[in-house]
Structure 1
Amino acid sequence: MSGRGPGWWIGTAIYLTVCLACVVFVSVPLLLLSLGVGLVAGALTVVALAGVVLAGGEGTAVLHTPAEVRESRLLPTRVREAFVRRDRAWPQYFAAQSRLDIQAIVDRARLAHDRMWAGPLPWLREKQLLAWWPLIIPLAGGQGAVTAGGALAVAATTVVLALVTGAAWLVGLPVVYLLRGADAAWQRVRGARASCAKCFELTAVPAYRCRGPHELDDRLSGDDLHRDIRPGLLGVWWRRCACGTKLPTMVLRAAFSRRLQPCCPSCGEPLFRGAGVVTDVRIPVFGAASAGKTQLIMAALVGLERAAATGGAGWQLLDERSKRTFAEYTDLVLRGADPAQTDASGPPVALTVRLDKGSRPALVHVFDAAGESLLDPEQNSRLSYLDYARSLIFVMDPFSVRRIADEFSSVAPDVYAAANPARHDPERSYNATVTRLRDFGVRTDRQRLAFVVTKADLLDKLGAGPHGGDLRDWLAAIGLGNLLLAVERDFGEVEFFLVCGRDPGPDAAPAPLRWVLSKEWMSLD
């Protein structure tokens, strides 16, 4: 104190007077102005940052790729095991991205705040301008106002985005289930499913291969496959594949899209166009070896083609195997020749035809497995098409019944030679298949059965048929009462047919198929 002279005190007084004057006449007005400008500037800064984030500007995009989304837990629900993993497609904005955008806005606002507070004071200290502290007051006030304005804007932006996201979920979730319900209702009313002709898998939701510009690695790994095309987190009405292609959701819309190829979700085999949307009729034909199954199927399909033409229905064979097999059948029927015995070591013969009548097309799959395969538990375990059928056709050879053999084999040996009787008892061939169905948990009481007695022409030669009487009564009279009781106990609906497997007329070989079609699709008459 003693070292300070009058000049120091006079200088200090002048400095304090000037500072006071600056505070009163400069700092306070500037503070008031900076508070208002700061609040607005802080809010506008956050709004601008939010716009940049939402627009995905350069260096600001926070979108996660479909591959990252698949591996992360960004989406709120897990994928069902049936669909293996989440499809490689961009998620809906409100499913995950809105949360990421809110976080990005908060992070960028915090970064801008830190930079604003880190800049002025060090600069003033470096320039030795702290003595002009009255001018720092409006600066600090402005910074505080910017912080307050930014905080209010962040809170408001978060609330708005959260409310919009919540509203989107409230509206979108019912729409998703409404569209899924439309798919399910259509399939239930039309009896529509997707059948694979290779592995016999049956599904309500086929897999769809995107035809967009995918890399070879995507094709090889199956990343171009959309296993769950239903509306959901990856899109309600549309979804965008990882390759950028816009794809329709819903089985009803995807089934006929040129951007998608329907495939079996189990083996990846391409499915027929319309799979999962058009009526799907699966008709397994089973019975003992040499019972006449293949002969019946041949004449039935040839006759069915004629009936379709007569009834004004479209007929189309959908794959090369079906075309080739049907051409062989037609040739054999026209020549009156017998088919080759079905190979027991190979896969079942599966022929698929598309029938169109009115506005309701149908895919009809007819399956013919060797009788030996049906009797062998190891082989018939692979015949899963039996499990998925709503109707089956059991073919019984009357010449394999002991009473017929005992009464007529020695009397008419030439007829018996022409009949080439089935190698196994009818009950054994029937029970082997029904037991297999039960072992795999199939409710046969929910299935229907066409019980077909073949070789009616040869029975007529013997004079051994029902002769216009009731076929069921005749079967009981020749000793098949136990089989009839089992059939009517096992299946929910049974219809009996006596046919000549060589006759493609509407009341002969095609009759069982026409009955099944009338139950599951419509009549060809």
Structure 2
Amino acid sequence: MSPSDLFSGSPWVSALVVLLFIQSPVIVWNLLRSAPVAYARFVTETGKSLGPWRPGAYDPRVRPPGGAEPAYRAYWAQQAWTDAVSATAAGATDIWRRVVDVWMKDRVRPMWNLYRKPYGRRETWEVLFLRFFSVGVALGALLGSLAAAATAAATTLVFGVLLGAGCAALVLAALCLRGIDTGRLVVGRIRMKCPHPGCYHSVALPVYRCPGCRHPHRSLRPGGYGVLRRVCECGQVLRTSFLTGRHRLDAECPECSLPLPDGLGSARLVHVPLIGGTSSGKSMLLQAMVAGLLARMNGGELSVRFARDADRREYERGAAQLASGGGIGKTTAVQPTAVMLYVGKRYRKRLLYLYDPRGENLESPQRLREQEYLAHADALVLVVDALADPSVYAGLPPDERTRADLASPSAESPMHTYERLSGELAAMSGRRRRTPVAVVVTKKDVLHRLNSLPTLTDGVDGWLRAVGLENLVRGLEHDFGACRFAALSAQDAVGTQPHPAERRHAAEPVLWLLGRTGLRIKKARPAVASGRIPPRPTTDPGVAESS
């Protein structure tokens, strides 16, 4: 279309074209004036609306913590989008306000109304001139504001894309951290279990307590409350992943709300119940085992740490009683609480749960089924009181029976205890064939003084066969994946005059069971020839193993 065609049509079109041509310098000038100012004001108002910039100032847009988690939502998860919307709205409102108030009311209207004459008089050419060009000013301001709005919209779109990409990256990072935590548990075969009686619940994620306000956090993991950390409602910063130190917080079982051991989830869990009849010496054996582990720690062979202060205090109380010539009381709890220890070397460690149930719990199938921790057992310690076997006791001469009675033999034969355990364990866990068993003959100091019995100098399994417990040995070797036989005098290990070698020897069954889980502890010094247990050991006694 040629310029002449524009003027060949309607006179109104021609007049409009002429008007725009004459007004074009005014329109362009005001467009160039209004657009940068409007966009600059958009940026300024957007920045101001992101405040308050003073720390601690009240902001009604920030949602207070509450709900399931007593923590603030992460900025990227919620507040960033709230701020983006409110900031964009504030900037767009400022562009509109400048068009209406600054340009139309403060500039265009005065030009239109300048020198208004009284009614009936003709207007001068100056007034007509200003009114004529006020149209150009208005058009320029409108076009400039539209250009600023378009630029602001493009900027907002780019910002939204970047914000979305950043949030997506943080979501991906949270999922990766969750995957790393889960993968570490799977690869390390770490199963978190509650150690408390009546619970023994599998813990997928503990409840962590804030060290500041002690409020419980039931879902402390990377997510909408923070990727690497979260902020409790009291202002305390909490780590959200094992990699960042979450396991150092106080934890509770989500089922029973009782405290869990320190650092639960940092090491593979190994459940080891001590099985034996009443008065078979389980409690003394447990005390001797812990003392043996601590003795080896002092020798530099391994590291040992109590997972709970309560267990450490209980052990120290028992050690003080034994050192003063007293004894350890019988277990009275219907369901035992595990004694928890971290055992390992450098970065290789295990969280050891040692259960000491009372013998009455094992005297009937019904009571045995109530021992829920047996379903989680990774290994067993079978405590054998040979004097409790009727055939062994009947073969003693009268004077030796009196001596044996002073040792308080168990009321139930170890064979009966084993038969009941073997059947119920197969039904409870289904892992009997894969469960290693450390068989410990207790009261070795008493057995050495009974001359009618074979001398405990050969392999312990051979000694058990010799005294008439061959069926017990055969059953163990047939029903379980691996067996280790040892003899121990807990009195010589932790009594008033403990023997260092016997104390160290008390840890052998536990270390062997831990070795079956892949934790190999290199000895600081070589032991004597295996398969021999001297009457008064001066070095580590050997043990017999069957698999």
Q: How does the TM-score come out when normalised to structure 1?
A: 0.72
1:502 and 2:491 correspond: yes
Question: Aligned residue pairs: how many?
Answer: 478
Do the aligned residues in 1 keep the contact of 2:45 with 2:91 (CA within 8 Å)? yes
- The Cα shift of 1:125 comes to 9.2
Would the alpha carbon gap of residues 465 and 118 (structure 1) be closer, same or farther in structure 2, given more than 3 Å must change?
farther
Residues 1:368 and 2:365 are matched in the alignment? no
Query: 1:293: Cα distance to partner?
Result: 1.0
Q: Rate the CA distance shift 1:112–1:311 in 2: closer, same or farther, 3 A.
A: closer
Q: Which residue does the alignment assign to 2:513?
A: 516
Amino acid at match of 1:160: F
Q: Which amino acid aligns with 2:443?
A: K
SS at structure 2 position matched to 1:285: strand
**Aligned residues: percent identity?**
24
The aligned amino acid for 1:142 is A
For residues 137 and 504 of structure 2, what CA distance do their matches in structure 1 show? Answer: 102
- Deviation, 1:370, is 0.5
- Verify the 8 A CA contact 1:196 1:269 in the aligned structure 2: no
1:330-349 paired onto structure 2 within 5 Å = 330-331=319-320, 333-334=322-323, 338-345=327-334, 347-348=335-336
Find the counterpart in structure 1 of residue 36 from structure 2: 40
Residue type of the partner of 1:453? Answer: V
In structure 2, relative to structure 1, the CA distance for the partners of 1:53 and 1:266 (3 Å cut) is: farther
Instruction: Give the counterpart letter for 1:516 in structure 2.
Output: L
| Correspondence for 2:410 | 422
Q: Distance in 2 between matches of 1:149 and 1:184?
A: 51
**Higher alpha-carbon Rg:** 2
For structure 1, list consecutive stretches of 5 or more residues without a partner in the other structure: 1-17, 72-84
1:394 has 2:382 as partner: yes
CA contact (8 A) 1:452 1:499 kept: yes
How far did residue 169 of structure 1 move? 2.7
Cα distance in 2 for partners of 1:228, 1:92 equals: 14
From 233, 237, 247, the equivalent of 1:246 is: 237
1:450 to 435, 438, 449: 438
Q: Is the CA contact (8 Å cut-off) linking 2:42 and 2:95 kept in structure 1?
A: no
Aligned to 2:184: 185
Q: Is the 8 A contact 1:63 1:97 kept in 2?
A: yes
Q: Displacement of 1:353 after TM fit?
A: 4.9
1:8 maps to which residue? none
**How has the CA–CA distance of structure 1 residues 340 and 270 changed in structure 2, closer, same or farther, with 3 Å as cutoff?**
closer
Distance 1:446 1:375 in 2: 24
- Rounded to whole Å, the distance in 1 between the matches of 2:281 and 2:456 is 21
Q: In structure 1, the residue corresponding to 2:39 is in which secondary structure?
A: helix
Question: 1:206, CA displacement in angstroms?
Answer: 4.0
Q: Deviation at 1:394?
A: 1.7
Q: Which residue of 2 aligns with 1:15?
A: none
- SS at 2:406 equivalent: helix
Contact 1:201/1:385, CA 8 A, preserved across alignment: no
Among 306, 321, 324, the alignment partner of 2:295 is 306
Q: Tell me if 1:234 matches 2:225.
A: yes
What TM-score results when the alignment is normalised by the length of structure 2?
A: 0.69
What's 2:161 paired with?
162
C-alpha displacement of 1:153: 1.8
Aligned AA (1:208) = Y
Q: Which residue of 1 aligns with 2:152?
A: 153
- Could you tell me how far apart the structure 2 residues matched to 1:448 and 1:430 are? 14
Which structure has more relative contact order (CA 8 Å, sep 6+)? It is 1
| Structure 2 unmatched ranges of 5 or more | 1-14, 115-127, 494-501, 525-547
Report the secondary structure of 1:239's partner residue.
Answer: strand
Separation in 2, partners of 1:192, 1:350: 15
Give per-residue Cα distances to partners, 1:404-456, cap 9 Å, x unaligned. Answer: 34544879532442343323343543455556655555644454321223233
* Contact 2:453 2:467 (C-alpha < 8 Å) held by counterparts: no
Q: Quick check: 2:278–2:410 contact (8 Å CA) kept in 1?
A: yes
Whether the 8 Å CA contact 1:325–1:351 is kept in 2: the answer is: no
What is the match of residue 81 of structure 1?
none
CA distance in 2, matches of 1:442, 1:122: 87
